[in-house]
Amino acid sequence: MTNIRLFYGSSKDFHSLLIQNQVENPTPFMELIRQYNVKVRANDTMGNKDAEFIRDEIGNVVISTDDFASVTEHVISNFSNIVLLGHDIENLYIQNPPKRVEYSIRANFDEEEITEAKSPYFSPNTTEVTKLYSQLLTGKVVGQNNAKRESCVGLYKAAYHHQKRPTVMMFYGPSGVGKTELAKNISSFYHGKLTRIQFSMMQTEEAFKYVFGDEHARPSMARDLLSRESNIVLIDEFDKVSPSLYNVFYQMFDEGIFEDINYRVDVSSCMFILTSNFNNEETIASTVGLPIFSRIDQKIKFRKTNQG
């Protein structure tokens, strides 16, 4: 029987899981693919049908998020064949499997063979949020005390009410006043590196593929969210996002679930920080529209540093 461990979360936590289970010298996914190709080629060219019945015993196989990002669609479609053909695997560890891979696993293995684990994302209580506020007041970001206070008010409310949907904040104001730096400080408190999404760096077609999914080798927002180290997600320069993508965001902010053609990810416990160069809330509402505007829990103004 194969023990299958499906893990959803960051590479750092996946590595910790492997250490905890004393996984040493695992067989990489690329080696399974190579062996599969050799067996298939032997069948096709030599008519050696016995090749598929020759089974190698393997202790541990580890498949990471990066492995899925580096293979072709054919590998994803034939995942179970690649794993099963000619192998008796004792332990199979899989990080952030695409939907088709997970469906294939559940179709070919019994439920008792499959266990799931997730990154243990830090979620502060109200006392810890108060501690964060004290740290921010003496932190690297100069001034912006009102922004620091309002940010912590939003976090405090979410902690107090045990909120089960994302907390959404918009940091708005001129460039170079500490919006991104404050987001980094908050993420550090949440015990992980900030997940930063920058739509201003993408052309419209590229942004669509990033949001809705494309070939596995291409970057995707869903994969980035699945692999996040903390529950703090920065969407930089939200004022540069194409209006045609807003529908995706207000569904995600409402339901706490994001799904593209390859992945499904739970973001219900995330805090989304949207930065922008808007000057006031009226401009925000008229630009992003009321459906998005109404889903932003805190609109937090950043001022030039000489304004406090």
Buried b / exposed e along 164-192 (16+ C-beta atoms within 10 A) = ebbbbbbbbbeeebbbbebbbbbbbbbeb
Mutual angle of helices 126-137 and 145-160, in 10-degree steps: 170
The C-alpha angle with vertex 41 and arms to 35 and 46, in degrees rounded to 5, equals 130
Q: Are residues 184 and 296 in the same domain?
A: yes
Q: pLDDT digit string (tens) for 89-135?
A: 999 999 999 999 999 999 999 999 999 999 999 999 999 999 999 99
Q: Are residues 148 and 248 in the same domain?
A: yes
Beta-strand relationship, 114-118 and 27-28 = unpaired
**Largest Cα–Cα distance of the chain, in whole Å?**
79
Q: Are residues 46 and 137 in the same domain?
A: no
Residue closest to 97 by CA, chosen among 227, 283, 229, 281: 227
Q: Quick one: which H or E segment has residue 273? A: strand 271-276
Q: Are residues 259 and 243 in the same domain?
A: yes
Phi-psi domain of 275 (left: phi exceeds 0; alpha: psi -120 through 50; beta: other): beta
Q: pLDDT digit string (tens) for 237-296?
A: 999 888 888 888 988 999 899 999 999 999 998 999 999 999 999 999 999 999 999 999
Task: Please give the Cα distance from 139 to 131 (Å, whole number).
Answer: 12
Q: Are residues 204 and 63 in the same domain?
A: no
Q: Please answer whether residues 98 and 76 qualify as being in contact, where contact means their C-beta atoms are separated by less than 8 angstroms.
A: yes
pLDDT band at 53 (very low <50, low <70, confident <90, very high): low
Q: Which of 118, 141, 175 is the last residue of a domain?
A: 118
Q: Are residues 136 and 111 in the same domain?
A: no
CATH classification at residue 175: 3.40.50.300
Q: Are residues 149 and 111 in the same domain?
A: no
Q: Which two tokens stand for residue 98?
A: 């695409």
Cα–chain-centroid distance for residue 2? Answer: 27
Beta-strand relationship, 87-95 and 56-63 = parallel
Residue closest to 262 by CA, chosen among 230, 290, 235, 223: 223
Question: What's the pLDDT at 47?
Answer: 52
Single-letter amino acid code for the residue at 280: N
Q: Are residues 95 and 139 in the same domain?
A: no
Q: Are residues 114 and 131 in the same domain?
A: no
Domain enclosing residue 136, as ranges: 126-307
Q: Which of 72, 102, 118 is the last residue of a domain?
A: 118
Q: Which of 96, 118, 140 is the last residue of a domain?
A: 118
Question: What's the pLDDT at 308?
Answer: 47
Q: Are residues 93 and 130 in the same domain?
A: no
* Number of domains comprising the chain: 2
Q: Are residues 109 and 165 in the same domain?
A: no
From residue 270, how far is each of 7, 152, 257, 284 by CA, in Å? 18, 15, 11, 22
Q: Are residues 97 and 137 in the same domain?
A: no
